[in-house]
Amino acid sequence: MKGAFWLLALFMIAVAVTIAATYNSGYVLIVAQPYRIELSLNLLVLLLLAIILMGYLGMRLIAFTARLPAELSEFRTRRRREKALEGTLDGLKAFFERRYAKAEKSAATALKMEDSTAFSAINAIVAARSAHGLRNYSRRDEFIAQAETSAPQEVALRLMTQAELLLDEHRPEEALDLLHQLPSGELRRHPGALRLELEAQQNVGNWDVVLELIGQLEQRDGPEADLIKQLRCRAHIENLRSRMLNPQALKEYWENLSPSEKKDGKVAAAAARAFSATGDCAMVHHLVEQSLESQWDSELAKLYAECIGSDPLRQIERAEAWLEGHPSDAFLLLALGKLCVNAELWGKAQSYLEASLSVKPGYAAHLALGQLNEKLGQPELAREHYGKGLELAVRQLERPQGPNNAME
């Protein structure tokens, strides 16, 4: 609509000028001795308009020529950034497709073209991760150094990436040093950094620190509850093992655990083994009995006979009470057999050990029967059980470990 209006106005002006020129008979005399120039008024108006138009066009040409270098530079910069962005996207796409050679090449090319610190940091990190994926660690370190030079303010991105790659290279101590270089307080506020430190602390065996980090992650959007439980369980197990040579420290650590943690079968089993190593059989029997009363665990039942107490008959009575509720538990039958051997109840010992083998053959039961037959003066039977036990042990070593095939 606006264009039609201007076109109509232009036609009206043209008609008005034509009519005015038709009825205008005036002239202009220009005297410049020795010359006299006589022009019609219409021609003079046309000449003046032409001069003004040429002057305007000349000024526009001069301005365009003056701006040309800057516009050309801006065009080249814009084109350069477009190509850098295209290279960055190509690098990211190739990286997520695990085509690390192409990803490194694209990111390295884009890194040379892009002046933006954010893009430089991203391209350097993509190139470093790609080089790491190709197991070219020296080139990876070069790209990390380039990221530090081109984008020094991107500290968290660089340090966390480098720490993660060092963890993958099984260098947890160096990864921890890098994480501790993060700005004050950022390590504790950043969930990603906490996860990396958690992994590194596990690898170096700082299980007390692992427990602290688990507590911090629980207060944020950390790992799932099941994973948290597994990590805490493992940390307690490792801490119990590390205190095996210090009975007082072991006892204090166990007492500081929550009731729910003490009832965990794996934690209780680790504690039982640790107290058994210190010779505190009364503590072993107490914690096994306490844990089994709340939740049955065959592994714990087996450990009940690992530490010989002062009253084996009481242990047999307690274990036989459990047997009423778990008559087909091979580990419980094995423990009862060992307890009867310690109490010199040879007949009951043989019955329980053979019952354990009938439920689930295991080298521990064959070994116990072999030792029992030696005491009973039956060397042939003893050698037979030793041979079968050895055969089962070899088979166990040849196949992957798992909860369903673990031997006694």
Q: Is the pLDDT of residue 407 over 50?
A: no
CATH classification at residue 340: 1.25.40.10
**How large a percentage of the chain has pLDDT more than 70?**
88
Query: In this predicted model, what pLDDT tens digit does every residue of 82-96 receive, in sequence order?
Result: 777 788 888 888 888
Instruction: Categorize the per-residue pLDDT at 223 as very low, low, confident or very high, splitting at 50, 70 and 90.
Output: low
As a whole number, mean pLDDT of residues 374-396 equals 86
pLDDT averaged over every residue in the chain? 83
Distance CA 95, CA 239 (A): 40
3-state helix vs strand vs coil in the chain, percent to 5? 75, 5, 20
Query: In this predicted model, what pLDDT tens digit does every residue of 48-92 receive, in sequence order?
Result: 888 888 988 888 888 878 887 877 777 777 777 777 778 888 888
For residues 326 and 386, state if they share a domain: yes
pLDDT given at position 406 = 43
Number of alpha carbons in the 13 Å side-chain half-sphere of residue 7: 4
pLDDT given at position 10 = 66
pLDDT given at position 19 = 65
Instruction: Categorize the per-residue pLDDT at 134 as very low, low, confident or very high, splitting at 50, 70 and 90.
Output: very high
Question: Domain for residue 405, yes or no?
Answer: no
User: Among 284, 307, 330, where does a domain finish?
Assistant: 307
Q: Is the pLDDT of residue 334 over 50?
A: yes
As a whole number, mean pLDDT of residues 305-327 equals 86
Residue 335 lies in domain:
314-397
**The tokens 């480098």 sit on which residue?**
162
CA angle (296, 301, 303) in 5-degree steps: 140
Query: In this predicted model, what pLDDT tens digit does every residue of 357-373 receive, in sequence order?
Result: 999 888 888 898 899 88
| Structural domain total, the chain | 2
User: Among 246, 276, 307, where does a domain finish?
Assistant: 307
pLDDT given at position 107 = 84
**Under 8 Å between Cβ of 271 and 254:** yes
As a whole number, mean pLDDT of residues 226-246 equals 90
Q: Is the pLDDT of residue 403 over 50?
A: no
User: Among 256, 281, 307, where does a domain finish?
Assistant: 307
Question: Domain for residue 247, yes or no?
Answer: yes
CA angle (345, 310, 329) in 5-degree steps: 55
pLDDT given at position 237 = 93
Closest CA to 165 of 192, 191, 190, 144: 144
Question: Domain for residue 265, yes or no?
Answer: yes
DSSP string of 145-165, one letter each residue: HHHHHH-TT-HHHHHHHHHHH
For residues 213 and 299, state if they share a domain: yes
Q: Is the pLDDT of residue 25 over 70?
A: no
As a whole number, mean pLDDT of residues 347-358 equals 91
pTM of the predicted structure, to 2 decimals: 0.68
For residues 237 and 301, state if they share a domain: yes
